[in-house]
């Protein structure tokens, strides 16, 4: 069993939420103060995206809508969601960006979706950045010829099994037909070549890119190889991208239990694994936002049921393992899972208790992507910390309020822009993995399929929920709540730190991690303990609190800066080279 008390323990309230030591502000008053500065139209929009939580009946939040121009958002573009997030991690196909050089350059290894060369899978192209490098000439006269030449050239050098082509903003604006170019290349080269109309502007965020990518992967890859793996209990882990090696931790843990992963979409994955992933017995979904389309389409076409899991946090990892074992229903597997949980917790528990003794009662805030702002709350909870405010950058209402609201979500013009593909049961290969009776028995035993309750139901009453947070709101949040740590991204990390709060980069992990499964949880606890224990950010006087002379002249000799130099010198002295980490296999 996990050691998060089933009945509330010391430091937790009657609902199992950690109790903050410091007094917390009234969330409605804090909300009003955050919104006060905005002009009426902006305020009207932001007040629908900035709410005090109701965990029993989550209030309707405005999500997946356009950011007000002028507000500094943390969001990315549709191209990033497609090429960068969902398909980019496939390591043995070529990814060619059709566009100006920057789109390719800035998506080159900035996301730590690691892959390593394995026996039998010797190819890893992830270190390459391939682009057509569009210039004025192509913008004026069209870039199709240059794209066709690039595909031919790339094929000649690498002889890959498949090539994916990604459209960037100018490609959509000038109307290059990348799909026809890909079709011709497929015929000419005899390999799989396919394109994605994932122009950056196509949606309100990278979320549109996830959807476009899911459609393309499903149409062009899934189902091409009818060769099931020989192992028992075959699953796909969907929405796990092996950031910092997370998928490797999950894979190792599942292996210990006797559960086999056919494919992880898309972390450290090969083309072949994607082509045969329709042969698995179950899909488990980690990141609901980026891949729910795929799990739905695979169920419709091939009959593979899906369940939501979370391998972030000790309690959640245990729950997820038990859920998978229950699905297969084999006594031996169920017992084996319990043995593994007990063994892993025996190692993790002392670390958890030690860290909790220092962090109990501290607070966190998190603003990340479309799933981590929810999942990582469990890791903080494990060590007695309450998440007082959280939000996604680009998630949809169902990720906040749960899938129950799906029928009520209004499809606006921006979402209508994204293709919904018609999927039907495959006449030959549709194979429901469970009989209707088995499904009923599972449901009667409390098992739920296709279910995601969202973030709000798992957050404490009256905590703040903020969609697509602005820099102004972040600054106000720090001023009013003084959280002990914030989990966020690179676009606001340094502002947060200069305001005196440590910031854990929860996209790339600041080169740390892995944080998934029990082993990853131990890494996270220790990392957070170190960050909160360090006083370094409290000693910083940000440049905007100083006079110009102080900043550029005598500021360097200020008491705060002197103190920092002493700390840094101490750290440098104590530094020892680390053993080579698994993550050094990157790209
Ligand atoms: Fe899913 Fe992700 Fe996330 Fe995401 Fe992302 Fe990411 Fe993220 Mo950065 S797929 S929604 S588009 S869990 S890259 S691995 S960390 S914003 S919270």
Note the pLDDT of residue 586: 31
Residue 77 is a catalytic residue = yes
Of the residues 83, 210, 234, 507, only one is catalytic, namely 210
Residue 80 is a catalytic residue = yes
More confident: 410 or 323: 323
CA distance 581 to 252: 16
Note the pLDDT of residue 583: 41
Q: Which residues make Cβ contacts (< 8 Å) with residue 119, sequence separation at least 6?
A: none
111 lines ligand 1 (CB under 6 A): yes
Residue 24 CB-half CA count within 13 A: 24
- Counting every residue written for the chain, the total comes to 587
Atom of ligand 1 nearest to the CA of 508: 15
Residue 574 is a catalytic residue = no
CA distance 222 to 275: 4
Q: Are strands 50-52 and 464-466 parallel, antiparallel or unpaired?
A: antiparallel
CA distance 155 to 325: 44
Sheet (strand 130-131) strand order: 130-131, 94-98, 162-167, 192-196
Q: What is the pTM of this model?
A: 0.91
CA distance 209 to 201: 10
Identify the band that residue 2 occupies on the pLDDT scale cut at 50, 70 and 90.
very low
Write out pLDDT tens, residues 329-365. 999 999 999 999 999 999 999 999 999 999 999 999 9
Write out pLDDT tens, residues 485-504. 999 999 999 999 999 999 99
Longest Cα–Cα distance of the chain, Å, equals: 77
DSSP 8-state assignment for residue 177? -
Note the pLDDT of residue 587: 28
Write out pLDDT tens, residues 364-388. 999 999 999 999 999 999 999 999 9
Residue 210 is a catalytic residue = yes
In terms of Cα–Cα distance, which of 277, 254, 267 is closest to 114? 267
CA distance 561 to 66: 41
CA of 208 to the centre of ligand 1 (A): 13
241 lines ligand 1 (CB under 6 A): yes
Q: Does position 1 have pLDDT exceeding 80, yes or no?
A: no
DSSP string, 105-136: HTTSS-S-B----BTTB----TT--EE----H
Contact 400, 51 (CB under 8 A): no
Quote the mean pLDDT of the chain. Answer: 93
Indicate which residue's Cα is closest to atom 16 of ligand 1: 369
């Amino acid at each position: 069993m996990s050691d998060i008390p089933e009945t509330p323990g010391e430091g937790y309230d009657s609902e199992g939420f950690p109790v903050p030591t410091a007094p917390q502000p009234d969330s409605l008053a804090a909300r009003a103060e955050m919104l006060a500065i905005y002009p009426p139209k902006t305020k009207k929009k932001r007040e629908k995206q900035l709410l005090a939580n109701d965990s029993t009946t989550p209030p309707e939040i405005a999500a997946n809508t356009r950011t007000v121009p002028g507000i500094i958002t943390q969001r990315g573009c549709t191209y990033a969601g497609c090429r960068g997030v969902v398909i980019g991690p496939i390591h043995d196909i070529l990814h060619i960006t059709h566009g100006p050089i920057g789109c390719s350059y800035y998506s080159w290894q900035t996301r730590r979706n690691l892959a390593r060369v394995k026996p039998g899978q010797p190819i890893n192209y992830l270190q390459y950045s391939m682009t057509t490098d569009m210039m004025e000439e192509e913008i004026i006269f069209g870039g199709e010829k240059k794209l066709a030449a690039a595909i031919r050239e790339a094929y000649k050098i690498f002889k890959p099994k498949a090539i994916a082509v990604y459209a960037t903003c100018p490609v959509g604006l000038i109307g290059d037909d990348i799909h026809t170019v890909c079709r011709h290349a497929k015929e000419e080269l005899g390999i799989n070549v396919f394109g994605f109309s994932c122009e950056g502007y196509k949606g309100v965020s990278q979320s549109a890119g996830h959807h476009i990518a899911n459609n393309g992967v499903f149409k062009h890859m899934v189902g091409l190889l009818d060769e099931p793996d020989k192992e028992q209990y075959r699953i796909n882990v969907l929405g796990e991208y092996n950031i910092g090696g997370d998928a490797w931790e999950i894979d190792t843990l599942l292996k210990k239990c006797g559960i086999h992963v056919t494919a992880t979409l898309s972390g450290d994955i090969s083309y072949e694994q994607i082509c045969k992933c329709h042969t698995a017995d179950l899909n488990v979904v980690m990141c609901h936002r980026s891949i729910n389309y795929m799990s739905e389409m695979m169920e419709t076409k091939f009959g593979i049921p899906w369940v939501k899991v979370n391998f972030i946090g000790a309690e959640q990892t245990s729950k997820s393992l038990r859920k998978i074992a229950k699905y297969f229903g084999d006594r031996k597997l169920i017992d084996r899972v319990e043995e593994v949980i007990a063994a892993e917790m025996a190692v993790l528990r002392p670390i958890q208790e030690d860290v909790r003794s220092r962090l109990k009662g501290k607070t966190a805030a998190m603003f990340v992507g479309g799933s981590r702002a929810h999942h990582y709350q469990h890791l903080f909870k494990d060590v007695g910390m309450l998440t007082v405010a959280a939000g996604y950058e680009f998630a949809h209402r169902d990720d906040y309020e749960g899938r129950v609201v799906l029928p009520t979500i209004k499809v606006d013009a921006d979402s209508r822009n994204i293709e919904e593909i018609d999927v039907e049961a495959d006449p030959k290969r549709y194979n429901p993995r469970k009989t209707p009776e088995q499904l009923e028995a599972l449901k009667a035993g409390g098992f739920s399929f296709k279910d995601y309750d969202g973030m709000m139901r798992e957050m404490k009453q009256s905590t703040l929920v903020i969609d697509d947070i602005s820099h102004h709101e972040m600054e106000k949040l720090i001023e009013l709540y003084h959280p002990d740590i914030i989990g966020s991204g690179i676009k606001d990390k340094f502002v947060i730190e200069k305001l005196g709060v440590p910031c854990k980069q929860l996209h790339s992990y600041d080169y740390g991690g892995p944080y998934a499964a029990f082993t990853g949880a131990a890494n996270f606890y220790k990392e957070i303990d170190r960050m909160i224990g360090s006083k370094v950010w409290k000693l910083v006087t940000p440049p905007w609190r100083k006079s110009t002379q102080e900043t550029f002249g005598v500021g360097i000799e200020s008491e705060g800066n002197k103190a920092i130099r002493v700390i840094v010198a101490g750290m440098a002295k104590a530094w020892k080279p680390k053993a080579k980490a698994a993550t050094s296999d990157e790209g």
